[in-house]
């Protein structure tokens, strides 16, 4: 039985990955989920697995050496999802991004090398390359991250690589594009716009809405991670994406049509500072090993919209308290009042 340490497993992608592991391996896997439960961590995402004998939740910080050193001897594979992940929050207050995304990764890498971990997957992001107007980034391209979030992720990405080169730790680094699917915190574009539209609230589009992202269904991302654990080469970086590039305006249009809501909900607001125009990754490296995304984008996006429509219990309680404070602060400066 393979024993996983999934960090940040109560967040969006981490919780989907835990579901993925149990669907794929059933009883033949053991998962420890180490999560600090920040505003983005939510145990509701894992209600269906919480009582399983082969699942253990540990509330804790990846920066906390003591907890990490206690857990590490009991696992074979580490998948580090834990991070502060929202670009807008990193613009307002970068502190926690440096702490968790860089120092936290360091603490995990140190403990991993002392415990002969069989594989350490550092979940990086396509944002480490920065923006590209034409063409797509290859894994060997220079990193030019633009936000405190992506710069922190780039730091951890290279730190993980250094542990392969220096200590021979079996590291794999993944750089995936924008994910969508169930359990995504409603501050990110798709769940924010879907839930706002359901509530007949404005959809705040930054700038001209023509920024482009390559959207991948979260389960395809999870599948790619497990594929790389099995087939990836140690010390290598792999881009992951679905080749599904869309402008924010197209996403908005799709959501409004799917929910039969009027275009009048679209509200153009001031642009995000340092807003990357386009992300695009060349995924031929992972595809040459035999991986391809399995989900049809239009269908998976429609199902995602439906999931939020049918699971108001999940998101309604999240859009209160601290969330509203952040929302007000973020959009106060963004809404064009002049
Ligand atoms: P998320 O914000 O939904 O979840 C992050 C999780 O990490 C939360 O459960 C949070 O409680 C936990 N966490 C934060 N700080 C922690 C700490 N110090 N110790 C332990 N746990 C902590 O993020 P997500 O969208 O699921 O992203 C997961 C990972 O994937 C991140 O590393 C992110 O950079 C990367 N990524 C995300 C995307 C995307 O589109 N969402 C794309 C590519 C890569
Ligand atoms: O590319 C991978 C990255 O994708 C991950 O590393 C990040 O963790 C994840 O948050 C995501 O970053 P983005 O900044 O691309 O995602 P976000 O959902 O915040 O924004 C997507 C696009 O939508 C971007 O061009 C900004 C725009 N946007 C976003 C919000 C929240 C709006 O126009 N209005 C909004 O209210």
Mutate to test the pocket of ligand 1, among 81, 101, 172 (most ligand atoms within 8 A of CB): 81
Where, residue-wise, is CATH 3.40.50.720 in the chain? 2-179+215-240
Band (pLDDT 50/70/90 cuts) for residue 335 is low
Question: CATH: 3.90.25.10, 1.20.120.80, 3.40.50.11540, 3.40.50.300. Which one for 182-212+244-274+296-324?
Answer: 3.90.25.10
| CB of 205 sitting under 6 A from ligand 2 | yes
Parallel, antiparallel, or unpaired for β 171-176 and 119-125?
Answer: parallel
Nearest CA to ligand 1 atom 41: 179
Tens-digit pLDDT profile for residues 231-260: 999 999 999 999 999 999 999 999 999 999
333: burial class by Cβ within 10 Å (0-12, 13-18, 19+)? exposed
Q: What is the pLDDT of residue 338?
A: 38
Question: Does ligand 2 lie within 6 Å of residue 61's CB atom?
Answer: no
* 320-325 LR contacts (CB < 8 Å, sep 24+): 322/39, 323/39, 323/186, 323/187
H helices within 86-237, ranges in order?
87-92, 95-96, 105-114, 148-167, 189-198, 218-231
Sorting pLDDT into bands at 50, 70 and 90, what band is 205? very high
Residue tagged active-site, from 61, 84, 126, 157: 126
Confidence at 309, pLDDT banded by 50, 70, 90: very high
Residues in contact with ligand 1 (CB, 6 Å cut-off): 7-8, 10-14, 34-38, 40-41, 61-63, 81-85, 100, 104, 123, 125, 153, 176, 178-179, 185
Question: Where do the CATH 3.90.25.10 domains begin and end in the chain?
Answer: 182-212+244-274+296-324
pLDDT of 324 > 80? The answer is yes
Atom 34 of ligand 1, residue of closest alpha carbon: 85
- The residue with tokens 């613009």 is 91
**Bridge partners, residue 216, by sequence:** 179
pLDDT computed for residue 312 by the predictor = 98
Kindly give the distance from the C-alpha atom of residue 73 to the centroid of ligand 2, in angstroms, as a whole number: 36
Q: Is the pLDDT of residue 18 over 50?
A: yes
What is residue 121's predicted lDDT score, i.e. its pLDDT? Answer: 99
84 alpha carbon – ligand 1 mean position (Å): 6
Question: Superfamily for 2-179+215-240?
Answer: NAD(P)-binding Rossmann-like Domain (3.40.50.720)
Tokens of 290: 């035999």
For 102-114, the pLDDT digits (tens) are 999 999 999 999 9
Asked whether 249 and 277 are in contact (CB, 8 A), the reply is: no
Contacting residues for 157 by C-beta, under 8 A, at least 6 apart:
122, 124, 128, 143, 173, 175, 237
Q: Is residue 322 annotated as part of the catalytic site, yes or no?
A: no
Active site residue 157: no
Largest CA distance in the chain: 61
What does the pLDDT look like over 78-103, one tens digit per residue?
999 999 999 999 999 999 999 999 99
Residue 15 CA to residue 166 CA, distance in Å, equals: 32
Per the annotation, the verdict on 149 as an active-site residue is yes
């Amino acid at each position: 039985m393979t024993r996983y340490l999934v960090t940040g497993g109560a967040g969006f992608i981490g919780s989907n990955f835990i579901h993925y592991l149990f669907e794929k391996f059933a009883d033949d896997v053991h998962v420890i989920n180490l999560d600090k439960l920040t505003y983005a961590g939510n145990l509701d995402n894992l209600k269906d697995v919480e009582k399983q004998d082969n699942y253990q939740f540990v509330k804790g910080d990846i920066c906390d050496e003591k907890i990490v050193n206690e857990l590490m001897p009991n696992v074979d594979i580490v998948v580090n999802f834990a991070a502060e992940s929202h670009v807008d929050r990193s613009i307002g207050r970068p502190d926690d991004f440096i702490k968790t995304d860089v120092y936290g990764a360091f603490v995990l890498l140190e403990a991993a090398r002392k415990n002969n971990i069989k594989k350490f997957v550092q979940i990086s992001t396509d944002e480490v390359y920065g923006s590209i107007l034409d063409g797509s980034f290859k894994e060997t391209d220079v990193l030019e991250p633009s936000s405190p979030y992506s710069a922190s992720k780039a730091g951890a990405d290279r730190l993980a690589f250094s542990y392969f080169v220096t200590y021979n730790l079996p590291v794999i680094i993944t750089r995936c594009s924008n994910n969508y699917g169930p359990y995504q915190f409603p501050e990110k574009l798709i769940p924010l716009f879907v839930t706002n539209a359901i509530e007949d609230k404005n959809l705040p589009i930054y700038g001209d809405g023509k920024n482009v992202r390559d959207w991948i269904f979260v389960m395809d991302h999870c599948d790619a991670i497990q594929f790389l654990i099995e087939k990836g080469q140690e010390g290598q970086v792999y881009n992951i994406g679905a080749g599904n590039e869309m402008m924010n305006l197209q996403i908005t249009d799709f959501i409004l049509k799917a929910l039969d809501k009027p275009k009048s909900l679209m509200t153009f607001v001031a642009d995000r500072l340092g807003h990357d125009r386009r992300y695009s990754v060349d995924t031929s490296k992972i595809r040459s090993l035999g991986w391809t995304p399995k989900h049809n984008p239009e269908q998976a996006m429609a199902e995602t919209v439906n999931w939020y429509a049918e699971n108001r219990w999940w998101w309604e309680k999240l859009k209160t308290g601290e969330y509203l404070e952040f929302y007000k602060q973020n959009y106060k400066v963004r809404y064009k009042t002049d």
